Copies of this chain bind each other. A is one copy, B any other.
Amino acid sequence: MNDSKTSSSVGLVSPQRFRFDEPLRLRSGKTLPAYELMVETYGELNSDRSNAILVCHALSGDHHAAGYHSESDRKSGWWDACIGPGKAIDTNLYHVVCLNNLGGCGGSTGPVSINPATGRHYGPDFPIITVRDWVNSQVRLMERLGIAQWAAVIGGSLGGMQVLRWAISYPERLRHAIAIAAAPKLSAQNIAFNEVARQSITNDPDFHEGRYLERGVHPKQGLMLARMVGHITYLSDSSMRTKFGKAFASLQGQQGNFGRDLRSGSLSFGFNIDFEVESYLRYQGEQFSATFDANTYLLMTKALDYFDPSVDYDGDLSRAFAKSDCRFLLISFSTDWRFPPDRSREIVNQLLKAGKHVSYLEIDADQGHDAFLLPIPRYVKALSAYLGHAHRELCRDAS
């Protein structure tokens, strides 16, 4: 048994499926007549139902944020580093809720689901989903769970964007908004990388205009490429140097800032893999494309591209936050070049302009955008302290 399935793990968990039969009107103008959401929860909901935290996932995440699905499970949930008894999001204090978002491929209604109107997989007919749509669907889940107000809504990256949308659209529904490694909207460079990912997928001969499931294939190569591009943007230049620089440096008989690692000590003089980073990237791409749905990937990139809560306020994000009533915590990571600290500071500045209560923490970390998933001591301690304090306040308010 994996030794992290110990006292600091939430242990064995099972997802629950919730069905919603009330139609959901989407930002695109389309309507989902009904939908299902896959949900996991960790920790006990207290008697006044005030200690619930919503965790929002990012591009490739799902409802399985912590713990294990079986004793033989080798991999824990995607945010197990931060969720568990005694961890930053402490399940001894909080009831944590995490769902697979609409359009996902983790079990919630999405492109791989059967479209009741046709009896076939939705595939490319699944409507474009925005962050706002997700939050609207999450409000219904909240109501179903009998939770009137989240103690906090927390997410990193695209998850952080959902946090911001919660604070804007449902100000009375959360006490704390914690957005990590997020951005107020995507940069042109961010969109450009997403476009490359989309082109990779849609150019794959197995894509069949999104109807690949009906043909019993899937655009594996295209999705692999998309993930490889994405993966480069999740890692920092320096973390890649650290990860792939050592063997080469030692091969060369000196400590060096090499940034690359020859696989075998000599060049192939062909198009085989020469450097560890190539092998690593291909492996990451292959692993991902074996399990993730390509149409979902397309939808997720569009949700990112479209995110811009300032759009209803003539581009003035501070006005978007005018009615927000929660406390904000923004966290960024020094080497994140996907959503760098500057992007978090933009949000902080707009919150300050709107007169909101905001804390901001910039963490020195070598791991790039991926840092938000990792147990980086200063980050975990800060999140833990913030949520510990929030819990004491919660108890004080209740008594």
Contacts and interface: CB of A to CB of B under 8 A. Distances in A.
A351 to B, nearest CB: 16
A237 to B, nearest CB: 5
Nearest to A295: B271
Given A127-B269, A202-B271, A203-B221, A237 B278 contact: no
What class of interface size applies to chain A in its complex with B?
Answer: 35 or more
Q: How many copies does the complex hold?
A: 2
A228 B267 contact: no
A210 B205 CA distance: 18
A79 B315 CA distance: 40
Interface stretch (A33-41, A140-148, A250-258): A250-258
A394 to B, nearest CB: 37
A14 to B, nearest CB: 35
* Chain A interface helix/strand/loop/mixed: helix
Contact of A188 (B28, B127, B244): B244
Given A128-B269, A228-B195, A229-B196, A188 B311 contact: no
A198 interface: yes
Contacts of A314: 252-254
Interface stretch (A47-55, A157-165, A298-306, A322-330): A298-306
Contacts of A241: 187-189
A387 B65 CA distance: 61
Given A271-B302, A314-B252, A315-B254, A260 B228 contact: no
Interface string A172-197: 00000000000001111101110110
Nearest to A306: B267
